[in-house]
Chains A and B, each alone.
Chain A
């Protein structure tokens, strides 16, 4: 091990001879080696940031963005799905087609038919590219969520946000690169949905909690005043300097000092970021914040926070909205979800547009799968909902590089199966990376002797989604 001057030695001696230019060069050189320093993308791309609106539970395409009038004719038509060893128990046996209980409206110049409850959202559809060709592999929530978020049905692989951070670094070194804004309860499968997997921990999704301290233990415990903590840290620095002098060749010690400093910068910056009261009443209202719908208020806060984080240079923000698993009473259940998301998601798009951020931000709205056109009907004739369906779903993209105002792909006439422009999930992953300037086949990480990538096995860009 060679003994060399550490960065900190030089910093401490900066006042004694090392010029500012040299110091800056040194800092830049150090910064280049940093795991989160901004990196050049593989190809030029408009989108620099991504906000991923994850609808947990499996939103029904049939009742949101892909209406199926045919189901009104077939409503309550009974048929039997054969017992099949490749079907889940819940999807076999006696089945009935069920119509959508919702009204639909034609929206935007593009004229897409969407659920009438999406009133505010109808004003922004022309900014979105709706995609109906996606197919997943799993009809089980956690595996499907892992698949959507990490490319692998088994938990433990890096999430999309981790890959994006690994590929692009991040602009704001005072904040994590990948932030997750979950509901109070975590989605099924938990924190593995935003794992760094085998990538270094710098790329891990950091959840910002909607209640309590936004980042775990960011606030000191009761009784640890600022004055006391600063005095403590003064002593801590002394201890570490004594130690540093004894271990001149142990460079990691500097990294640890820096991590504490970064923690304090974060501690200083975060309260200002999460404080939404600085926003105008009009902006708050646009997101549904302060309105009568409490779910919309809560989600609106997360969506607004997502904009603020992107504004601060955060690379990837995932907003999670739960509760789409409407096996029964889809009328009520999806109805309340749609009312809860309408203002928050459209407010986000309007706000990103207003602030000019939409040009370099990619917005994704997706759930882990779509829902079935048929139902086993449990508990009476008004109680019907829809089961899971990985063969058909709806999602949309908006923002940088996206072919806005279009519908790409199609499902069959009852919405059971994607039939046009059909792509597996890995192609969506490749496309999202592509929109962020990254090439899935180049964005690899050698782990346990294997070159790994988000798509697992390679995939293709869904060109039709691109502007």
Chain B
């Protein structure tokens, strides 16, 4: 027998295959790929269909195609082998399938031509201990504390370290020198508790914790792939997340709103925005995509991500075969998928809420409208009748720009990016509109088990359902999910957001823990299955999960419990490099440039200019060049409020291990690579901020000594040591001498932006000059705006912003 490379998520040992596996791996792909085009459900030449076992048994015009256990008598094998003057696939001996494929057919027929109506029932390889996460959560003991589980003997860190640690943890920003001093001065025994309360009450908390959540759900303001169309109203979901955490919304409600807010809370606008969660993955449908495939990809995506987000289980493997490592049969996978079978895209009108930031909407809309109008005018200037002309290429480019701007205009409209059960409208992400029947005639497409994940050979139909393992292993009863248009998601959401569900609270408690210690109690926060890391202290995890439920699913009390523990306040704390957003926000904060305005449509920060000016491919043409927001206060918002374009991440965020916007990110990486040095040391952005910080210091402190001391307080949250102050003074003086003899560079004139377009019609290249943005640009402070002393001080500040102590939290 030939070596086998099974079509499974994880390669199996090279042992004999069962008939089921042989079929799924060797037979079915060939039938689909090489036979079904002519002998399938859409076209049955010679009246033969090969898409089911029955089809082969019945055969076509020439009789039965297979006789189980009798390969030599089977017509199918005869034609594959080219015996008796019959040959398939057609076209002579050259078309013959590879010998090993034919051998596999022989083996398959000889073994009885097994055609699993459901995929292979395999022996699960998990042991009892692998099911820890499915077992009921241990009863909560209110008398215990975290330290009862961890028994930390380490001394408590000093107050400066603690306030820096806690402020970064809960707000993603450094404390100000004033906040540090106030904490040091507070001698009351409640000083630490008061600090925790202040931080948890800060609106910055929701921005910080919201970012963690957006990592998991893969939030972006665009849809990815070829056109990467804007999702103009996605920002309302981002702000919903931030608001929810700031309000300390019970987590069970947060779950219900995101999975089924439209059904469970009709008339509650927050809940309608929340359900945008279900559409957070990348998505595209074009003339080149197959509608059935596009829909299937959505169903796979939404089923997998809902389960991994809230239940910490990976479903992907169960798509093709019963899960090798976790007790998730394929049937369960498709039953969960059926929960979403009636979930359709929707973009209903939804007036802005008082809590939403609409301040910049009129100006923003006017800005895009001007660009749109200008584009439409340009479009008219070019001939569109001859597609192989250079003019047509320009016409196409303006047409593409106009499509993109038109979609962007919706950013300012009171619309919700969400879903509905059954059709509300057929709105998609900028692409072709999906066609739905009227609601009265709408029937959700039936969901079938797809052996091998192949949509062309559906097997057994399934009804919506939940994961059976939780009942089997966790004594958490399965529930019925109605097979109606509405109500599927509601039932599923209630089943997840339930104190008896063993996974829900554990998974969230673990995610919360990870935000404070860098690692979860269980090391793979989105995989609580066998292959995920086991919890290092499962009793503690259960206790925290119990505490979450006991506290009415509120998250802030859990932060409080963690921060009050000796474990958290210990000197032995794993140092952490700031995440990309915390780093950028800190750079803005200490330089005095951070605008703490909250909410509203994404803003466009200053990014590397080469990247900003680079042509961005959009299917068949180019997008308009990246344009940073014209006003400094807009550019300098917190990173969570920057526009998240899947195809154009801010390179500074990207290089500091920002999340891939297409994949759920359960934990940030913090690898150290040289391109980070370039970004922090050489980028115009950090150099501008260093200069802004120097100007700030001059404003806030009267003498060089005071300025340098304040610089250390701002950047490191501690006073400078005498030796450090000496070194800084020495460096300042040296650079002052340099700047006195070296004039600053002059301000660069804006360069016209020329993009080359290669016509996909003719392959000819033409040049296109991008007209400048009509909005007047408010520049940053420039070296030529200030004297040599400020420039010298900016050399000191730039190095403080690059220092190890600035980028690490202890």
B345, chain A: closest CB distance, angstroms: 18
Q: With CB as the reference atom, state the residue of chain A lying closest to B651.
A: A216
Establish whether residues A220 and B682, one from each chain, have CB atoms under 8 Å apart when the complex forms. Answer: yes
Cα–Cα, bound, A247→B807 (Å): 14
Query: Which B residues touch A459, using CB under 8 A?
Result: 5
Determine if B144 is an interface residue (Cβ-Cβ < 8 Å): no
A397 to B657, CA, bound (A): 34
Interface residues of A in 327-345 (CB under 8 A from B): 327-329, 332-337, 340
- Report the separation of the CA atoms of residues A35 and B532 in the bound assembly, to the nearest whole angstrom: 23
* Residues in chain B near residue A455, CB distance under 8 A: 5
Cβ of A242 within 8 Å of any chain B Cβ, yes or no, is yes
- B289 interface contact, C-beta 8 A: yes
Considering the complex, give the chain B residue whose CB is closest to the CB of A242. B724
A201 touches B615 (CB 8 A): no
**B72 at the A interface (CB under 8 A):** no
Q: What's the Cα separation between A453 and B745 when bound, in Å?
A: 50
A234 contacts across to B, CB distance below 8 A: 731
**B610–A209 CB distance below 8 A:** yes
- Determine whether A190 belongs to the interface, using a CB cutoff of 8 Å to chain B: yes
Q: Is the CB of B616 within 8 A of A186?
A: yes
Does any Cβ of B come within 8 Å of A11's Cβ? no
Can you name the residue of chain B whose Cβ is closest to the Cβ of A154?
A: B662
Taking a contact as CB atoms under 8 Å apart, the answer to whether B783 and A223 are in contact is yes
Stretch at the interface among B266-274, B590-598, B697-705, B791-799: B791-799
How close is B723's CB to chain A, nearest CB, in angstroms? Answer: 7
Chain B interfacial residues counted at CB < 8 A? 122
Bitwise, A208-229 to B at CB < 8 A (1) or not (0) is 0101110111111111110111
CB of A383 within 8 A of CB of B9, answer: no
Contact A187/B617 with A222-B748, A224-B687 known, Cβ cut-off 8 Å: yes
**Bound-complex Cα distance A179 to B582 (A):** 29
Q: With A and B bound together, what is the CA distance between A188 and B284 in angstroms? A: 13
Chain B CB within 8 A of A294 CB: yes
Query: For residues 51 through 100 of chain A, which have their beta carbon under 8 Å from a beta carbon of chain B?
Result: 57, 82, 84-90
Partner of B10, one of A188, A379, A420, A450: A450
Q: Contact: A457 with B738, CB < 8 Å?
A: no
| B805 contacts chain A at the CB level, 8 A cutoff | yes
Q: Is there contact, CB below 8 Å, between B682 and A218?
A: yes
Is A184 interfacial (CB-CB < 8 Å)?
yes
Instruction: Confirm or deny: B681 has a beta carbon within 8 angstroms of a beta carbon on chain A.
Output: yes
Are B745's CB and A333's CB within 8 A? no
| Interfacial residues of chain B within 733-766, with CB under 8 A of chain A in the complex | 734-735, 738, 742, 744-745, 748, 755-756, 758-765
Selected from A1, A82, A233, A332, the residue in CB contact (under 8 A) with B388 is A332
Contact A213:B760 (CB < 8 A) given known A195-B660, A448-B527:
no
Q: A213-B610, A333-B762, A419-B94 are in contact. Are A88 and B795 (CB under 8 A)?
A: no
For A186, list chain B residues within 8 Å (CB).
614, 616-617, 647
Q: How near does chain A come to B612, taking the closest CB pair, in angstroms?
A: 11
* A323, CB-defined interface residue at 8 Å: yes
Q: Are B673's CB and A202's CB within 8 A?
A: yes
Within the complex, the shortest CB–CB distance from B405 to chain A, in Å, comes to 19
Nearest CB in chain B: distance from A107 CB, A: 22
Interface string of A340-379 (1 = CB under 8 A from B): 1000000000000000000000000000000000000001
A327 — which chain B residues lie within 8 A by C-beta?
A: 760-761
- Whether B187 is near chain A, meaning CB under 8 Å from some CB there, is no
Closest partner residue, chain A, to B684 (CB atom): A221
Contact residues on A (Cβ < 8 Å of other chain), bracket: 35 or more
B532 is contacted by which of A201, A252, A441, A448 (Cβ under 8 Å)?
A448
Among B663, B735, B759, the residue within 8 A (CB) of A231 is: B735
What residues on B are CB-neighbors of A256 within 8 Å? 672, 804, 807
Out of A1, A236, A340, which one reaches B799, CB within 8 Å?
A236
Q: Which residues of chain A are within 8 angstroms of B783 by Cβ–Cβ distance? A: 223
Are A215 and B662 in contact, with the CB atoms below 8 A?
no
A188–B226 touching, CB < 8 Å? yes
Q: How far is the CB of A55 from chain B (nearest CB, A)?
A: 13
Contacts known (A195-B660, A216-B678); A333 close to B761, Cβ less than 8 A: yes
How close is A242's CB to chain B, nearest CB, in angstroms?
Answer: 5
CB nearest to B25 among chain A residues? A457
Check if B660 sits within 8 Å of A142, measured CB to CB: no
Q: Judge if A192 is at the interface, Cβ distance under 8 Å.
A: yes
A243 touches B803 (CB 8 A): yes
Q: How far is the CA of A257 from the CA of B802 in the complex (A)?
A: 11
Could you say which residues of chain A place their CB within 8 Å of the CB of B649?
Answer: 191
Per-residue CB proximity of B275-299 to A under 8 Å, as 1/0?
A: 0000000101011111111000000
CA–CA, A262 and B455, complex, Å? 50
B588 close to chain A: CB less than 8 A: no
Tell me whether A147 is interfacial, beta carbon within 8 Å. Answer: no
Contact status A232-B798, CB under 8 Å: yes
Task: Tell me how far the C-beta of B806 lies from the nearest C-beta in chain A, rounded to whole angstroms.
Answer: 9
Are A328 and B387 closer than 8 Å at their CB atoms? yes
Contact B3 A460 (CB under 8 A): yes
| A40 interface contact, C-beta 8 A | no
- Is A422 an interface residue, CB under 8 A from the partner? yes
A275 proximal to B (CB < 8 A): no
Docked-complex contact A235 and B799, CB < 8 angstroms = yes
Residues of the A chain whose Cβ atoms lie less than 8 Å from the Cβ of B10? 450-451, 457
- Assembly CA distance A238 to B575 (angstroms): 21
Contact present for A457 and B678 (CB under 8 Å): no
Given A336-B764, A460-B3, decide whether A450 and B9 contact each other with a Cβ distance below 8 A: yes
In the bound assembly, the distance between CA atoms of A220 and B97 in angstroms comes to: 59
- Chain B stretch 441-471: residues in CB contact (< 8 A) with chain A: 455-456
- Please indicate the chain A residues that have their CB under 8 angstroms from the CB of B803 in the complex: 236, 239-240, 243
Chain A residues with CB under 8 Å of B6's CB are 457-458
Q: A226-285: which residues lie under 8 A (CB-CB) from chain B?
A: 227-229, 231-236, 238-240, 242-244, 247, 250, 252-253, 255-257, 259-260, 262-263, 266-267
Give a binary string over A2-44; 1 marks a CB under 8 Å from any B CB, 0 the rest: 0000000000000000000000000000000001000000000
Given contacts A140-B286, A235-B728, 9 further A-B contacts (CB under 8 A): A142-B224, A143-B225, A197-B663, A224-B687, A228-B738, A263-B675, A333-B762, A383-B387, A383-B388
Q: Top 7 closest A-B pairs, CB basis?
A: A336-B763, A449-B527, A449-B532, A449-B531, A156-B663, A263-B677, A458-B11
| A and B contact pairs by CB, cutoff 8 A, 7 listed | A209-B614, A217-B682, A227-B738, A233-B799, A250-B808, A262-B674, A322-B758
Binding site for B on A (CB under 8 A): 1, 35, 57, 82, 84-90, 135, 139-143, 154-156, 184-192, 195, 197-198, 200-202, 204, 206, 209, 211-213, 215-225, 227-229, 231-236, 238-240, 242-244, 247, 250, 252-253, 255-257, 259-260, 262-263, 266-267, 294-295, 322-323, 325-329, 332-337, 340, 379, 383, 385, 388, 410, 412-413, 417, 419-422, 430, 441, 446, 448-451, 453, 455-460
